[in-house]
Amino acid sequence: MVEPPTAQIFFSVVDKRVAFTALTLHADSWNWDFGDGSTSTEKAPVHEYAEGGTYTVRLVASGKGGTAEAETQISLALSVREMLTGGSSAPNGKSWKISSAHSDKDAVALVDPNFTSIQDVPAGALALFLGLGEEYEDTFTFKADGSYIHDNKNGGSFAGLVFTLVNQIPIVNITDESQSFGFCSAAYTPEANATFTLNESKDLSVTAVSQADGETTYDVTYPGVMTLEFSGTEFIGLMDFHREVIIQEITPDKMRLVMFMSATQGAHLNKPSLAVIFTFEAVK
C-alpha cells in the first residue's frame, strides 16, 4: 500500500530572511510559493523578502501516494501602518472588529493621565452585560492608500448615549444595562470615500470634564502617542463627540484603542468624561 504524503511548514525568521523546512512524510518533491512571486523546489529553502509585510506561504508536497498541501502566514519587519492596513500585500486592506474576548486591560476609565479604570470589561461584555452583542460584528477596514471602509452590519453603531440624544440620532438598540453605562446602538450610515490619518507620534491634548460633578473641566496631554483620525463623520468602535483615538498597542493580530466618551449632561456635555478601552482583532 502506498501511503499518501503529509505536509506541515516550519520556519524561523531573522529580519526579512526566513528559513523554511517542509515537515513531510512520504513525499519526494516540494513546491513552495513564498507569497511575493518567488518559488522554490527545495525541501528546506531560505528566502529573503525584499520588504516587510504579511505573506501567505504555500507548500505542495508530492509523492507516489498523491499530494499534500500546507499554508501559513508570516509577518516580517512590519511598520505600524503595515500592521494596521496589511501593507502592499493586502490590496483590499485589513479589517478589524471589536474582540468579544476583550483583554485584561479593557476597561471603562477616567480621562486622566493614567486612564484610571472604573469598570473592567470582561469577555463578551457587549452581549452579556449590555445586550449589544451585534456590535461585535461591525468591521473597520484600513487600506494602505489611506482609504477607510466602515461596515456596521446591522445599521447601528456602538455609541455614547449622551451624544446620540443630543444629536437626535435614532436609537437602534438600547437596554436597561447599556443605558445605565451610557451606551446604546445608534443609527449611522458610513461615509462614502472615507479616509484615515495615522499619527505615529503626537502630543494629544484633550479638554475633559469631571465625571464626578459634570462641571469641572481640565486639560490632559498624552505625549508621544499613536492616534487615528478620520474624515467627515467617521470613527472606529465608538461614535461620540471626540473621534480621534489612541492606539495603546498594536500587533499584526490585535490592537488596543482608547476611545473618548461624553457621559455628563451639564454645560460641557460635548467634552469627554470617560475613556473606553477596547481590544480589536484582525478579521481572518
Q: Which residues of 213-232 are buried (b: 16+ CB within 10 A; e: fewer)?
A: ebeeeeebebeebbbbebee
Give the contacts of 104 (CB within 8 A, at least 6 positions apart).
120
Lateral strand order in the sheet of 66-76:
39-40, 29-33, 53-63, 66-76
Task: State how far the alpha carbon of 275 is from the alpha carbons of 16, 148, 202, 243, 267, in Å.
Answer: 38, 23, 18, 12, 19
The one-letter amino acid at 103:
S
All structural domains of the chain with their residue ranges: 6-77, 81-282
What are the distances in angstroms from CA 107 to CA 122, 123, 258?
Answer: 8, 11, 9
Q: Which three cell numbers stand for residue 203?
A: 502630543
The predicted structure's pLDDT at residue 157: 98
Highest CATH level, class, for 6-77: mainly beta
Spatial neighbors of 70 by CB under 8 A, at least 6 apart, are 7, 8, 9, 22, 58, 59, 61
CA distance 237 to 40: 43
Number of neighbouring beta carbons within 10 Å of residue 234: 19
Q: What is the pLDDT of residue 53?
A: 79
- Chunked into runs of 10 residues, the chain (284 residues) has average pLDDT values of 94 94 97 96 96 90 97 90 88 96 97 96 96 97 97 96 97 96 97 97 97 95 98 98 97 96 94 98 94
Tell me, what's the pLDDT at 77? 82
Give residue 54's pLDDT: 82
Quote the pLDDT of residue 51. 83
pLDDT of 254 reads: 97
- Do you know the residue count of the chain? 284
For residue 184, the model assigns a pLDDT of: 98
